[in-house]
Structure 1
Amino acid sequence: MSPLLSVEDVSFTHIVENGWFQRPRKFVLSPVTFELNAGETMAIIGENGSGKSILAKLLVGAETPTSGAIYLNGQKLKYNNIKQRCLNIRMVFQHSNESLNPGITLGTILDEPLKLNTQLSPEERQEKVEQTLRLVGMLPEHQYFYRHMLSDGQKQRIAIARALILNPQIIVADEPFAALDPSVRSQTVNLIMKLQRDLGLGFIFISHNLGIVRHISDRILVMQEGNVVESGKTDVIFNWPKSEYTEKLVQSHQAMLSKN
């Protein structure tokens, strides 16, 4: 069976302007290659500045790679075909509060992707909005709420609903649990795992939280300063890390667990 997503030698070079009196800094993402199957979760881990979020932006089309190619179901994704990407690869951001427009209702937030990307009638869009709210554990009545009327956990559920509403094949989540308190975080993790089982989604999860990574991921990509230093099955990475960098990350996680 062919993979859902194939990333082949994708690289990226970005010049970061640091201000008038500082020299520009060049960030280089070295060629990245991996595959993702339907119903599988791949976690991308590494310290800040390792290139995790840049890779996420390349996958969803927010940035264009310098070289390489990305294939979905064997078909090469074209960067000038925004609709192709919007329908199939969706993103959940870390700060759901900032990604939700405070001036419009949740129903309007969820309706906008449908209006822009589908031929559904207003009645069909309304039905889809209510169906998606139920899917993430919200009520149809929540479509009339505004952002400030929700808890942090509910805001993240709406962010997930917005990602799901176009029936994508892949969800890319960049630190989706970092801003949540532990109890809400646990509920949201369980929700995402249930949605993945029920919908057969491919899931790419970017995180510093190795506890959650170990709990939900099938495979791991370890990044350092724009390079993939190691990749493999989750259990293998945690139990038999090959690189010193990966070993340091795992030992730091285990030390934190022993303190708690």
Structure 2
Amino acid sequence: MTPLLSVENLSWRKVTKTGLFQKPSVFELQPVNFELQPGETMAIVGENGSGKSILAKLLVGAEIPTQGDIYLNGEKLAPDNIRERCLKIRMIFQHSQGSLNPAITLGSLLDEPLKLNTTLDSKERKEKIEQTLTMVGMLPDHAHYYRHMLSEGQRQRAALARALILNPQVLVADEPFAALDPSVRSQTVNLLLKLQNDLGLGFVFISHNLGIVRHISDRVLVMREGRVVESGKTNDIFTWPKTEYSQKIVSAYQTLTTKK
């Protein structure tokens, strides 16, 4: 079976000058390899600065890899063809408040990518927007709302609608639940699981919340200082972590849940 998404030896390197008499700062993402099947969720975990967000940006085309390849349904994605990448692999941002333009309505926000990337006429675009809003648990009338008129949970659903509007095959989410309160977070998690089941989406999920990781992911990549230190099925990682670093973060999670 051909994987939905394949990543082969994907790496990235950035040199940053920090001062006139200081050595440049270098960050390297060591070669990353993984496969994602339709309807599967892969979580990426690790401390700040481990390379999780860089990997997410490489997947959606926000950064260009130093080397390595990305395949979708067995077809290689050209690293410099950002438009093709954005159509098929979409991002859900961490802070929906900052990612939604306050000066335009939600309908206009969703209409723009349809204008730029499809041949739909205005009536068809309106229907598509209404269908997508309904899909994420909002009302068609929400198309007329501005950002400040939406609740916290509705803003996150709006961000999800924007990610889904072009019918992607893979969603990449970088800490999508971090800013949500527990009740809204639970609703959003359940919504994502339902959409994944209905649409057969592949889901790459970056999070520090190991409780959610354990609940929704099929497999886990553990990253540290730009390297994948361990990968495997979620239950295996949480039950029999092999590396010292994986054991440390799993132990911290288990201690926290025991205290509760």
> TM-score when scaled to structure 1?
0.98
Q: In the TM superposition, what whole-angstrom CA distance separates every residue of 1:95-136 from its partner, at most 9, and x where no partner exists?
A: 010000000000001111111111111110000000000000
SS in 1 for 2:42: strand
Q: Which residue pairs with 2:88 in the alignment? A: 88
1:218 aligns with 2:218: yes
Question: Residue 51 of structure 2 aligns with which residue?
Answer: 51
Matched, 1:164 2:164: yes
Q: How many angstroms apart in 1 are the aligned matches of 2:19 and 2:124? A: 50
In the TM superposition, residue 79 of structure 1 has moved relative to its aligned partner by 2.1
How far does the alpha carbon of each residue in 1:180-207 deviate from its partner, in whole angstroms, 9 at most, with x for none? 0001000000000000000000000000
Alignment partner of 1:238 is 2:238: yes
Counterpart of 1:205, as a letter, is: F
Partner of 1:123: 123
Per-residue displacement from partner, 1:52-94 (whole Å, max 9, x unpaired)?
Answer: 0000000000000001111111111012222211110000010
Task: Name whichever of 173-182 and 74-83 sits farther off.
Answer: 74-83
Structure 1 counterpart of 2:180: 180
Identity %: 71
- Alpha-carbon distance change, 27 to 132 in structure 1, aligned in 2, over 3 angstroms: same
| Partner in structure 2 of residue 106 of structure 1 | 106
Post-superposition offset of 1:16: 3.0
Partners of 2:17 and 2:212 lie apart in 1 by 34
Counterpart for residue 13 of structure 1:
13
**Runs (4+) off by over 6 Å:** none
Return the offset for 1:259: 1.7
- 1:220: Cα distance to partner? 0.3
Please name the residue that 2:194 is paired with.
194
TM-score scaled by length of structure 2? 0.98
Mapping of 1:2-81 within 5 angstroms? 2-18=2-18, 22-81=22-81
Query: 1:22 Cα shift?
Result: 4.8
Structure 2 residue matching 1:166: 3-state secondary structure: coil
Corresponding residue number in structure 2 for 1:142: 142
C-alpha distance in structure 2 between counterparts of 1:82 and 1:191, whole Å? 28
- Amino acid across the alignment from 1:155: R
How far, CA to CA, are the matches of 2:212 and 2:155 in structure 1?
A: 20
* Shift in Å, 1:15: 1.8
Write the letter of the residue equivalent to 1:78: A
Cα deviation for residue 20 of structure 1 reads 5.7
Q: Residues 157 and 17 from structure 1, CA distance in 2 versus in 1: closer, same or farther, beyond 3 angstroms? A: farther
- The residue type equivalent to 2:24 in the other structure is P
| Alpha-carbon distance in structure 1 between the residues aligned to 2:107 and 2:20 | 44
- Letter of the 1:146 partner, please give it: Y
- 2-structure distance, mates of 1:153, 1:15: 38
Structure 2 Cα separation of the partners of residues 246 and 68 of structure 1: 26
Pairwise CA distance, 1:19? 5.2
1:132 match = 132
Task: Please give the alpha-carbon distance, in whole angstroms, between the structure 2 residues aligned to 1:199 and 1:173.
Answer: 16
- Aligned-partner SS, 1:103: coil
C-alpha spacing 1:252/1:105, structure 2 compared with 1 (3 Å): same
The aligned amino acid for 2:227 is: N
The Cα shift of 1:21 comes to 6.4
Q: Distance in 1 between matches of 2:137 and 2:78?
A: 34
